[in-house]
Amino acid sequence: MTSPEMHPQRWGDPARATALPDAAAGLIELAFGGLDDRPAVSSVELPPVGLDADQLATVRRIVGDEHVLTGDEDRRLRTRGKSTPDLLRARAGDLTDAPDAVVRPATHDEVADLLRFCQEHEVALVPFGGGTSVTGGLVARREGYAGVLSLDLVRMKRLVDVDPVSMTATLEPGLRGPEAEALLAEHGVTIGHFPQSFEFASIGGFAATRSSGQSSAGYGRFDALVVRLTVATPQGTLQVGSAPANAAGPDLRQLMLGSEGAFGVITAVTVRVRRVPAEKVYEGWRWPSFLDGAAAMRTLAQAGLLPTVIRLSDESETAINLARPDEIGAEGAAGCLMITGFEGEPEAVAAKRAAVTAVLTGLGGTPAGEEVGQAWAHGRFNAPYLRDSLLDVGVLVETLETATFWSNLQALYDGVKTALETTLGDPTMVLCHISHVYETGCSLYFTVATKEGEQPVEQWLAAKAAASDAMMAAGATITHHHAVGTDHKQWFATEIGPVGVNILRAVKAELDPTGILNPGVLIP
């Protein structure tokens, strides 16, 4: 199957983004006082290729001539990721962070050879899977290096094996979400990992960033799904994960999960799989308030009764129907909308759904029917396209997310919301939902929209910094599922403290002594 194409200045295919719903346009008109036309610049200039002919020839010998790309479009498509600042810079024609060349290895051994080349020639190497980082994970530091190679894993797309007895599958890192699921579906199994970036993001990226999908309550976070990893490092190959669980020292899988290309290149990932669900049901629930809905989520989680999907929009997000992109801006209901989803064998789905319904009804929830659930499921990967449309009309929109323990939820919610509203000033919309739920706590995902000013990157970064400070003040994490990249480093250092930072630096120095791997990313 063919993957959809990314776009160098947008999330994806412009055709998917053109249809800003009428109601949304009206809402923007009302909230932000009219639409601007902010088209992306069409003429862009790339910096010259920094690597010399000998160096490029060496790389070509490793992967083959046709797999070393230095064309403008190839470099442009691997420049930065898909955060709003990334897109704003791309739309303004700024390609200063473009890699010198794109190199596409086909095997673990070719990756290892490329690592050796980069070490010898002091060339920085940026692993590239789906290119969907929203935290600057692809923006490696250029200073001090002879050049920057984008290591595009697009040729490493094999389903290596499926073990139907152990219910595991080994996949290569370049498989994008839909490609992996299509290959696994031939064996009747699924990973069940569906982040919003699903269409583009890759298996290697899921692992390297500790990704979490919309069905995390049912299938688990990606880091919980990984049973084995193969990692090519400048110091040799690391294979970790010899059993479903063990007590053989620290769990080195969990040191590589979240290593964001800074410790090595993940070349194979073995994950737990499940049978493709025979049935999928999504439905809506209404709650008088966000806290009522959150308390119900907590009750379900602590009773061991979580559905496959469970999400809760706060009052603001519910009011503009963000959970139903086709209807954004249409008149919303009062209170808060919850989406629950059940996937599995019909009997198990029916039993779980009945148990959940009993709990939610008992706690004061009102069923809102399957239509609203299906609408969410239908639009679940659309929000990033909507952002493209909003940026086109001068609405600055971005998301950020965090997580904390249940008893700290209100403090975190208030702190981040206030920080965003205060920094961005009127008119600003701050919307929030809970989309990942655990026995001990949950995530908070904020969507922010404001009128784009003259310096929109700086405008957003100030708000982001204030929100990040608020997360630290509340004792929460700087990121539940977007990783550290370059953008979160400052707060990440606060979160893990100086001893934690020194541990990461020591591992980095051991595995990547010349610092060629994604320099500037992750390690404070």
- Residues numbered 197 to 236 that lie near its own copies (CB under 8 A) are 209-212, 221, 223, 227, 233, 235-236
Q: Which residue lies nearer to its own copies by CB, 96 or 239? A: 239
Residue 126 contacts its own copies per CB under 8 A: no
Give the count of residues interacting with its own copies (CB under 8 A). 86
Residue 258 contacts its own copies per CB under 8 A: yes
Residue 291 contacts its own copies per CB under 8 A: no
Quick one: which segment of 36-44, 334-342, 373-381, 470-478 binds its own copies (CB under 8 A)? 470-478
Spatial contact of 484 and 135, defined as CB atoms under 8 Å apart: yes
Q: Which residue lies nearer to its own copies by CB, 87 or 169? A: 169
Residues 21-40 that bind its own copies (CB under 8 A): none
Residue 346 contacts its own copies per CB under 8 A: no
Residue from 257, 328, 391, 395 that binds its own copies (CB under 8 A)? 257
**What residue type is assigned to position 377 of the chain?**
A
Residue count (the chain):
524
Residue 516 contacts its own copies per CB under 8 A: no
Residue from 302, 361, 422, 455 that binds its own copies (CB under 8 A)? 302
Question: How far is Cα 100 from Cα 105, in angstroms, rounded to an integer?
Answer: 16
The pair of structure tokens assigned to 423 is: 């920094």
Among 401, 422, 420, 412, residue whose Cα is nearest residue 483: 401
Residue from 5, 37, 246, 426 that binds its own copies (CB under 8 A)? 246
Residue 309 contacts its own copies per CB under 8 A: no
Q: How far is CA 149 from CA 99, 126, 302, 476, 518, in A?
A: 6, 6, 47, 35, 10
Among 300, 287, 291, 312, residue whose Cα is nearest residue 368: 287
Residue from 1, 43, 248, 454 that binds its own copies (CB under 8 A)? 248
Give me the least distance between CB of 307 and its own copies, in Å please.
12
Q: Which residue lies nearer to its own copies by CB, 41 or 278? A: 278
Give me the least distance between CB of 381 and its own copies, in Å please.
19
Among 353, 328, 310, 336, residue whose Cα is nearest residue 213: 310
The pair of structure tokens assigned to 171 is: 């996949």
Spatial contact of 219 and 280, defined as CB atoms under 8 Å apart: no
Residue 357 contacts its own copies per CB under 8 A: no
What CA dihedral angle connects 8, 395, 197 and 480, to 10 degrees?
Answer: 130
Residue from 436, 460, 487, 518 that binds its own copies (CB under 8 A)? 436
Q: Which residue lies nearer to its own copies by CB, 451 or 488? A: 488
Q: Which residue lies nearer to its own copies by CB, 212 or 374? A: 212
* Structural Rg of the chain based on CA atoms: 23
Residues 87-116 that bind its own copies (CB under 8 A): none
Q: Mask of contacts with its own copies, 177-196, x by CB under 8 A?
A: --------------------
Question: How far is Cα 405 from Cα 412, in angstroms, rounded to an integer?
Answer: 10
Q: Mask of contacts with its own copies, 262-281, x by CB under 8 A?
A: ----------x-x-------
Q: Which residue lies nearer to its own copies by CB, 99 or 192? A: 192
Q: Mask of contacts with its own copies, 133-172, x by CB under 8 A?
A: ------------------------------x-xxxx----
Give me the least distance between CB of 408 and its own copies, in Å please.
8
DSSP 8-state secondary structure symbol assigned to residue 94: -
Give burial (CB, 10 Å; 0-12/13-18/19+) of 501: middle
Q: Which residues contact 269 (CB under 8 A, 6 or more apart)?
A: 170, 171, 172, 173, 203, 204, 206, 207, 226, 228, 229, 230
Please give the full DSSP string across 395-433, using - where no structure is assigned.
EEEEEEEEEEEGGGHHHHHHHHHHHHHHHH-SSEEEEEE
Quick one: which segment of 140-148, 329-337, 375-383, 509-517 binds its own copies (CB under 8 A)? 509-517
Quick one: which segment of 12-20, 179-187, 314-322, 492-500 binds its own copies (CB under 8 A)? 492-500
How many CA atoms lie less than 13 Å away from 152 in the CB half-sphere?
21
Residue 477 contacts its own copies per CB under 8 A: yes
Residues 361-420 that bind its own copies (CB under 8 A): 402-408
Among 239, 69, 83, residue whose Cα is nearest residue 149: 69
Q: Which residue lies nearer to its own copies by CB, 236 or 346? A: 236
SS3 37: coil
Q: Which residue lies nearer to its own copies by CB, 53 or 499? A: 499
Strand 274-275 to 189-190 pairing: antiparallel
